[in-house]
């Protein structure tokens, strides 16, 4: 019972920090960084689509999907469908977010894939896409045997938790990169970026706690 209560508490904490990070990021992008618009002729507005969708549309939904599978009060089949559906929506939004970064580079004639952030981020995204395909064919396909599902489940869970942290690292290195571009002259903005990064980190840790404790319910 204590583990169930702690899992629920971790889920609430994860939602708090996840939503807090969304709010802080929106304040940053809308107040300090001119707004969010994929089709804009202003490269900065196009660039702002990237962090917004990669966290608010992709990473946040991945965390929600992970918690749903272990903490949602629903049948196991509903949990699986919601889990896979949230991941799929996150992947679609993530594709748009990645395209926004490439579009920004094209507008300013900047080389692609030169930063550590881009290496970690794209690798994580590709692996999460493969993880989703693996999960769909293994756990949702009717022809998959129960023995196969039992053998693959630990690897699927471990892979998901590892990729969550890789996504957090990608988000934090991206924020550090933007903070470096802005410089230290805008202290209020850089502090806001730092708090956003801390909220994202604590969201990831809380999601992992929620999922880990939820396995024992």
pLDDT, block means (10 residues), the chain with 217 residues: 69 95 96 93 95 94 89 77 92 96 95 95 96 86 74 86 95 94 80 96 94 72
pLDDT at position 3: 60
Q: How many domains does the chain have?
A: 1
Structural domain contains residue 154:
yes
Residue 212, exposed/middle/buried by CB under 10 A (0-12, 13-18, 19+)? middle
- 197 Cα distance to chain centroid: 12
Query: What is the pLDDT at residue 8?
Result: 78
Predicted pLDDT at 185: 66
**HSE value, Cβ hemisphere, 13 Å, CA-based, for 202:** 18
CATH number for the domain spanning 127: value is 1.20.120.1770
What is the structure's pLDDT at 81? 87
**Residue 197 resides in a domain:** yes
Give a yes or no: residue 3 inside a domain. Answer: no
Task: Show the domain range for 164.
Answer: 9-214
Token pair belonging to 33: 């960084």
Contact 111/105 with Cβ under 8 angstroms?
yes
pLDDT on residue 139: 80
pTM listed for this prediction:
0.91
pLDDT of amino acid 103: 96
């Amino acid at each position: 019972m204590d583990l169930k209560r702690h899992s629920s508490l971790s889920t609430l904490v994860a939602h708090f920090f996840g939503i807090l990070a969304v709010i802080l990021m929106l304040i940053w992008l809308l107040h300090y960084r001119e707004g969010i618009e994929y089709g804009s002729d202003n490269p900065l507005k196009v660039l702002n689509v990237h962090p917004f969708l990669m966290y608010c549309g992709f990473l946040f939904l991945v965390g929600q999907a992970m918690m749903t599978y272990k903490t949602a009060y629903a049948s196991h089949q509903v949990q699986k469908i919601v889990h896979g559906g949230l991941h799929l929506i996150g992947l679609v939004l993530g594709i748009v977010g990645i395209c926004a970064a490439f579009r920004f580079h094209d507008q300013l004639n900047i080389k692609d894939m030169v930063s550590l952030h881009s290496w970690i981020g794209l690798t994580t995204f590709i692996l999460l896409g493969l993880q989703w395909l693996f999960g769909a064919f293994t756990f949702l396909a009717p022809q998959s045997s129960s023995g196969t599902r039992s053998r693959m489940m630990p690897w699927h869970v471990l892979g998901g938790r590892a990729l969550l942290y890789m996504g957090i690292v990608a988000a934090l290195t991206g924020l550090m990169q933007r903070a470096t571009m802005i410089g230290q002259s805008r202290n209020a903005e850089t502090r806001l970026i730092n708090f956003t990064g801390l909220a994202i980190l604590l969201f990831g840790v809380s999601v992992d706690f929620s999922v880990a404790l939820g396995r024992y319910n």
